[in-house]
Amino acid sequence: MDTLNQYEKYLREISKLNSAVALLVWDQRTYIPKGGHEARAEVVGKLSTMAFEMSVSDELGGYLEALERQDGLSEAQAASVRVVGKQYRRTKAIPATLFEQYVIDRSRSEAAWEEAKANGDFALFKPHLAKMVDYAKQFAEYYGYQDCPYDALLDEFEPGMTSRELKTIVEPLREKLVPLLRRLMEDGTPPDGSLIEGSFPLDRQHELSLRALRAINYDFEHGRMDDTVHPFTIGIAPGDVRITNRFIETMAISGLMSALHEGGHALYDLGMPAELHHLGLGNGASFGIHESQSRMWENMVGRSLPFWKLFRRDLVDVFPQLSSATAEDLYRAVNVVQPSLIRVEADEVTYNLHIMVRFEIEQALFDGSLAVADLPDAWNTAMEKYLGVRPSNNAEGVLQDVHWSGGMFGYFPSYMLGNLYSAQLLATIKREIPDLDARIESGDTKALLDWTREKIHRYGQIHEPKDLILKVTGESLSPSYFLDYIEAKFFPIYGL
């Protein structure tokens, strides 16, 4: 058997272990009884360590070394050697015993966060968060970096991105976005969002979300939707990508929008050929590109007038009390701009400001200017600074997101990048499919899905994000497309 075949067979074995871990994690965050968390952490830690040890083994290193010198590899095979090789060098630096303890502590941290969030008790979560920050700092040193430790963490989610480059995106975006928001708030006439507020039974909201997922061609033969505390999408294996959701009784479309968001992630994962998963290329070009797909379906489709002309009949069928609302009423209601406390409920205009808060705090945690114990006050101050609102408790403040409990520092900027990527991609899509709005209104959402599968999904991680956005749109990433999109959409809604 030649080296390439041995390499591909080896990667499949790692993939099987990761699949088992994913299934256990999905269960842990959906159906596991409270008393099962401790034992589950041990099992997840063991299987993750086995996968980790395989991913840093001398055997894999030998395959990579040989294949890096080999000619005649396909595009996907060459990308696999590049991507797996990069990850190999990063993880090789981490001692296996440290990683095993990290995985165990991460599971405990996630369970502690869930309880802390439910009770608004930061003190309960603080020691676990401190451990996660400490692990991330250690890992950054093992990974290596050029300018600052945070860059080593950013690169995990957005390959090639640095904090210095991110600032060149954030600062001009903030410079334009803050006065744009102020103009909407001070000079605009806000639409009436109250029509989608009231009492909406959770089981009916669940049904509405299922209909929305079907409307965007999510395949329930290859996935499912279950309830959880914080929505997420998880790929168990090629052909098995599951989403989770949560519902708020007083908000008719909160769960619907969450379903569209997670559905966008799942469509991306399901659109990648199984071959790429087996080559270690099945995670998408980057977390930012992944977010571009979820944000596109959630906001640029789900909050568009064509979508509501299509989906109004389903909404009214599930909630007859909304039968007097027209598609235009619903379109305006789902596009109210209002600075608020909760990121996942934020509108398109203010959402990136939530990310700027988190980006600023993460930088401070890793340059040593902010201690974990001082995080709640820092969070509340930053929220007041950027959004003009201050949390009254930690559940709606620093405890609202699950990410830090799992050590996912450097992830949050991906959400902002996803918004920017999606706007730039949408401009290209509308040039190439001029009648896209009419198609969506008629129920043909597959035209958009087919475009994204042809241009983005089928490549998996073959291309890095900078290369992919240039290949697809003909330009490097620019925040101008997002700003143009926001102005063109919200100024008419607000009568400006």
Token digits of residue 263:
């559905």
Output the DSSP codes for 51-117.
Answer: HHHHHT-HHHHHHHHHHTT-----HHHHHHHHHHHHHHHHHHTS-HHHHHHHHHHHHHHHHHHHHHH
Burial readout 274-310 (b: 16 or more C-beta within 10 A, e: otherwise): ebbbbbbbbbbbbbbbbbbbbbbbbbbbbbbbbbbbb
CB 140 within 8 A of CB 319: no
Question: CA 247, CA 231: separation in Å to the nearest integer?
Answer: 10
Output the DSSP codes for 215-243.
Answer: HTT--TTS--EEE-SS--EEEEETTEEEE
DSSP state of 323: T
Token digits of residue 65:
């070394």
Q: Mark whether 262 is an active-site residue.
A: yes
Question: CA 110, CA 27: separation in Å to the nearest integer?
Answer: 13
Catalytic residue among 110, 156, 158, 262: 262
Under DSSP, is residue 197 helix (H, G, I), strand (E, B) or coil?
strand
> Dihedral sign, CA of 386, 388, 394, 397?
negative
Measured CA to CA in angstroms, residue 492 lies from 223, 391, 419 at distances of 38, 31, 20
CB 430 within 8 A of CB 306: no
Measured CA to CA in angstroms, residue 196 lies from 230, 248, 311, 316, 326 at distances of 22, 12, 14, 11, 12
CB 28 within 8 A of CB 48: no
Of the candidates 261, 276, 163, 281, the one whose C-alpha atom is nearest the C-alpha of residue 212 is: 261
Block residue for tokens 């920017």: 420
Of the candidates 246, 245, 243, the one whose C-alpha atom is nearest the C-alpha of residue 222 is: 243
Terminal CA-CA length for the chain: 68
Where in the sequence numbering do the catalytic residues fall?
Answer: 262
